[in-house]
Amino acid sequence: MPISSIISSEMQVQGDIRFKGKARIDGTVQGDIRGEYLVISESGTIHGNLDLETLVCHGRVEGDVKAELITAHSTASINGCLTAANLTVEAGATLEGEIRAARREQAAAPLAAASAGTKGGTNPKAAPAASPETTA
């Protein structure tokens, strides 16, 4: 799945974001994010809570994260409560806060409920396999 939305390193966004598909954040977001597949680059910073299917983090998150799959790469810094069915942490990543294991149904439930309220009412897709784009 190609990345369909990018917040560039020169951008600062204030407000909540909802998206479908795959998005990448290179800049700064102050607000909550709800979506499917999110990549936070090394220059990316989020001050808010995340509710996702998949998070691939190379940057910084200040807030709670709920996802089916969370991958924290060596440059990642996450400060908040993590709730995930699958969690991968590379050496060098910094995690501060609480980590909660969740069954797949628990991690996906809030996102499925949100999708039901959107136009079309589609259910979230299964998390895609890792690809070279996830390390970009």
pLDDT digits (tens, 9 = 90+) for 15-59: 999 999 999 999 999 999 999 999 999 999 999 999 999 999 999
User: How confident is the model at residue 119, as a pLDDT?
Assistant: 41
Q: Which residue has the higher pLDDT, 69 or 1?
A: 69
What is the domain count for the chain? 1
Does the residue 121 lie in any domain? no
End-to-end CA distance of the chain: 14
- Answering whether pTM is above 0.85, one says no
What's the length of the chain? 136
Does the residue 10 lie in any domain? yes
Does the residue 129 lie in any domain? no
Does the residue 62 lie in any domain? yes
User: How confident is the model at residue 128, as a pLDDT?
Assistant: 44
Q: In sequence order, what DSSP letters do the residues of 47-68 get, joined into one string? A: ES-EEEEEEEESSEEES-EEEE
Question: What proportion of the chain, given as a percentage, has pLDDT over 90?
Answer: 71
Checking if the pLDDT of 85 tops 60, the result is yes
Give the domain extent around 47: 3-110
Does the residue 124 lie in any domain? no
